[in-house]
């Protein structure tokens, strides 16, 4: 009897294969521009790596392994914990466990969510693979040559000083450095949180499709096209630049002094990327690029999407963006101008993606009418 009831629940919620494919097709059409962008991006990356004689996926695999075996499970666990405590401390339902199960049940049993999520996330993974592959070949397409110029531009814009020195009075000790480092690494979980939320929401509430399209366009325009044109490594790798002196040696000495007693995770990642650049056949993490800052560009997209969801959430993500800006400079990942450029690119892309989606929907509506 129980087995029959359980079977009835599943059959009532899940449509036939044909019905599910129809739902998926509807969602793929709604993401037409995203699909087109990712497929073209992936195709270009594949063609470029083949031209260079590099096996496709060689650079992407370490990142994909980290995503599926570490980032996604931790993001899901964080979601469970966050929702549970939110309900327990804010909502305070009479039956907490029942309310918790009721919250997650639609994410599992509503076919439209799966039909919406699977195509969107799968196509984003194509874009992610293209980005990681293209990032690793930047110096092969255009050798790093802009670091000195960006260092000098930083000084021109910041009263003749390196921006990291201006931050030292507030952040030049262990505690704020470690906090910034934690928030900077939190970016990965925020990114996957937005990915999953935009894919698994039941309906398009006005931000989901724009977020995904803006995100991939930031990668294409900022993380690949402009990154190749303005090929640069960043302060942490300035010792590898062909320059007469290294103005960031003192900054790296400061960060290493903190790392002696408290692990600064940024330094370990920088060492892995350095090793990947100097030893490109080791199969480890690779891909160094400073201009523009994708951490700052995508964090701007997070903020813009958050304001569309709720004003208070937007304020939280604005604070997150400010921390990412400061952390990107303080932890020697970026020149300040990298951050400024990333933010400008993100705002422009957000506006363009909104207009593009309105045009796409108008075209789809006209096509269905005829």
Distance in Å from the first CA to the final CA of the chain: 50
Calpha distance 284→290 (Å, rounded):
19
34 CB-near residues (< 8 Å, 6+ apart): 120, 123, 124, 209, 212, 213, 216
**Residue 140 belongs to what domain range?**
19-359
Neighbours of 169 (CB within 10 A): 8
Query: How many domains is the chain built from?
Result: 1
H or E stretch covering 299 = helix 294-309
- Tens of pLDDT along 57-105? 666 666 666 666 666 777 777 778 878 888 888 878 888 888 888 877 7
Before 351, cis peptide (omega within 30)? no
Query: 0.95 exceeded by the pTM?
Result: no
Calpha distance 289→349 (Å, rounded):
20
- Tens of pLDDT along 120-146? 778 888 888 888 889 888 999 999 999
Q: Which two tokens stand for residue 76?
A: 């899901």
113 in a structural domain: yes
Share of the chain above pLDDT 90, in %: 49
192 in a structural domain: yes
pLDDT tier at 326 (50, 70, 90 boundaries)?
very high
167 in a structural domain: yes
127 in a structural domain: yes
74 in a structural domain: yes
12 in a structural domain: no
Most confident of 3-7, 71-75, 230-234: 230-234
């Amino acid at each position: 009897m129980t087995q029959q009831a359980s079977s009835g629940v599943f059959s009532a919620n899940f449509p036939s294969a044909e019905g599910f494919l129809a739902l998926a097709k509807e969602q793929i059409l709604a993401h037409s521009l995203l699909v087109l962008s990712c497929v073209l991006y992936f195709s270009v990356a594949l063609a470029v790596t083949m031209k260079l004689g590099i096996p496709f996926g060689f650079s992407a695999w370490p990142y994909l392994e980290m995503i599926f075996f570490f980032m996604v499970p931790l993001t899901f666990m964080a979601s469970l914990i966050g929702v549970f405590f939110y309900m327990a401390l804010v909502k305070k339902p009479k039956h907490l466990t029942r309310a918790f199960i009721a919250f997650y049940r639609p994410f599992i049993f509503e076919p439209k969510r799966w039909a919406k999520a699977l195509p969107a996330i799968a196509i984003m993974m194509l874009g992610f693979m293209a980005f990681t592959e293209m990032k690793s070949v930047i110096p092969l397409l255009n050798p790093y040559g802009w670091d000195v110029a960006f260092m000098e531009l930083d000084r021109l814009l910041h009263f003749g000083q390196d921006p990291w020195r201006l931050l030292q009075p507030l952040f030049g000790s262990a505690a704020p450095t470690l906090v910034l480092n934690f928030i900077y690494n939190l970016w990965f979980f925020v990114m996957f949180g937005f990915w999953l939320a935009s894919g698994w929401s039941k309906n398009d509430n006005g931000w989901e499709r724009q977020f995904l399209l803006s995100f991939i366009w930031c990668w294409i325009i900022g993380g690949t096209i402009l990154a190749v044109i303005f090929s640069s490594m960043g302060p942490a790798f300035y010792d590898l630049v062909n320059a007469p002196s290294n103005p960031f040696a003192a900054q790296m000495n400061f960060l290493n002094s903190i790392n002696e007693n408290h692990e600064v995770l940024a330094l370990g990642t920088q060492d892995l990327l350095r090793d990947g650049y100097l030893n490109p056949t080791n199969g480890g993490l690779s891909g160094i690029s400073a201009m523009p800052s994708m951490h700052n560009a995508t964090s701007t997209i997070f903020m813009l999407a958050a304001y569309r969801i709720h004003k208070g959430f937007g304020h939280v993500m604005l604070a997150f963006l400010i921390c990412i800006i400061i952390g990107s400079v303080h932890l020697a990942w970026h020149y300040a101008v990298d951050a400024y450029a990333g933010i400008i690119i993100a705002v422009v892309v957000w506006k363009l993606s909104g207009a593009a989606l309105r045009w796409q929907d108008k075209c789809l509506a006209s096509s269905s009418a005829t």
